[in-house]
Amino acid sequence: MFINCLNNIIRHSSYQFSSQYLLNKSKQKLILPFYHTVSNNELIHIKHLYRVKNTKEFIKDLDFLLSLFEPINIDTLYDISNGRYTIKKPVFLLSFDDGLKEVYENIAPILLSKGIPAAFFINSDFIDNKNLFFRYKASLIINEITNSSKKKSLASEEYSKHLSPINPSNLSAEILKIKYNNQYILDKIADSISLSFHEYLQTEQPYLNSNQINELLLKGFDIGAHSKDHPEYQYINLLDQIEQTKSSVAFLKDNFKIKKKLFSFPFTDHNVSKTFFEMIKNDIDLSFGCAGQKLDCIINHYQRIPFEQLDRSAKQIFNDEILRFMIKGLIGKQRILRS
Ligand SMILES: [Zn+2]
């Protein structure tokens, strides 16, 4: 209740401040904005999950960031984390999760033209369009049933067989609630309406392929792991967390010329324990969460700010995050603690 109230106050007041003023007041010298993709086309596998920015909006975001910060790459962040580099002017490190093909087609050309480095985090099971993230499956199913009452009723029947009886009018909302551990149900529903994920992967090729990844590395971008197949870590056990992390990083090391061992958490690092970080410390140089502008008790682990928030601009998102960060400082809540 208090947090919701605070968020509303921040949302309605942060725009009144200049970003430069907030940056100076907060004394923050490093921010890490992150996105998934940028596209001028409708992406059906994402359409029902979150709003994607187009190239015009993305370029406006970048120009905003460049007006306040200098861009840095992973090597500089690594030096910062080891105390070998002291930040003078405020800096930002950009990154992108999920390894989508727009990274190669749309994002990298824009970043190269502006001289901005970036890190791209990819799921080892999805490279070369071998398989599809279960949330994308949910979006594709919703798209398929939206304008077909026959498919909606078939899909509802299938859903009811595995979970609980459902009114077809609630089906889309319930499909979005299906979790990683129940993802087989999405496959069953797709079968029931003759939707082929394999065909979608073949025709649309939503993910980066190995050649594109090699080219991105040659152009100076960094590639990191994002788990094997994108589970939410707080819902899988410690051994699975370690296996997902180590084997996705090992896959990149074995198949691509990566310089640093990088990892960004799929979904969130919420409730991930100190023991986990202790057990992977020799396998990872830098890791990343997405809890917004926050500090973390784990050295070499950085929190990033999601820059895809409906139709909000980088400036609105940044002002909110920095104001929230300052307010949290007053109540001693700027740092994420782990048990
Ligand atoms: Zn992700």
24 and 139 share a domain? no
- Residue pair 204/143 in contact (Cβ under 8 Å)? The answer is no
152 and 118 share a domain? no
Distance set, CA 273 to CA 224, 236, 294 (Å): 21, 12, 17
- Mean pLDDT calculated for residue range 178-195: 97
What is the 98 CA–ligand 1 centroid distance (Å)?
5
What is the 163 CA–ligand 1 centroid distance (Å)?
26
Mean of pLDDT over the chain: 95
Residues in the chain: 339
Distance set, CA 165 to CA 140, 157, 162, 180 (Å): 22, 8, 9, 20
What is the 267 CA–ligand 1 centroid distance (Å)?
6
- CA gap 135, 250 in Å, rounded: 25
- DSSP assignment, residue 131? S
- CA gap 312, 57 in Å, rounded: 10
What is the 179 CA–ligand 1 centroid distance (Å)?
14
Structure tokens at 108: 């990298």
105 and 239 share a domain? yes
State yes or no: pLDDT of 115 exceeds 90.
yes
What is the 230 CA–ligand 1 centroid distance (Å)?
6
- CA gap 320, 293 in Å, rounded: 10
89 and 223 share a domain? yes
Residue 118 domain boundaries: 2-128+209-336
- pLDDT computed for residue 31 by the predictor: 97
Ion ligand 1 residue ranges (Cβ < 5 Å): 97-98, 266
Q: Which helix (H) or strand (E) holds 335?
A: strand 335-336
What is the 193 CA–ligand 1 centroid distance (Å)?
27
Domain count, the chain: 2
228 and 294 share a domain? yes
Give pTM, 2 decimals. 0.95
What are residue 118's phi and psi, to 5 degrees? -160, 160
What is the 276 CA–ligand 1 centroid distance (Å)?
19
Structure tokens at 80: 């910062």
N-term to C-term CA, the chain? 25
- Residue at a domain's end among 167, 202, 237: 202
* CATH number for the domain harbouring residue 254: 3.20.20.370
327 and 180 share a domain? no
99 and 162 share a domain? no
217 and 197 share a domain? no
- Residue at a domain's end among 202, 219, 235: 202
288 and 193 share a domain? no
7 and 79 share a domain? yes
pLDDT in tens, 233-280: 999 999 999 999 999 999 999 999 999 999 999 999 999 999 999 999
pLDDT in tens, 281-314: 999 999 999 989 998 888 899 999 999 999 899 9
Contacts of 178 (CB under 8 A, 6+ apart): 134, 138, 185, 186
245 and 307 share a domain? yes
245 and 277 share a domain? yes
- Residue at a domain's end among 166, 182, 202: 202
What is the 45 CA–ligand 1 centroid distance (Å)?
13
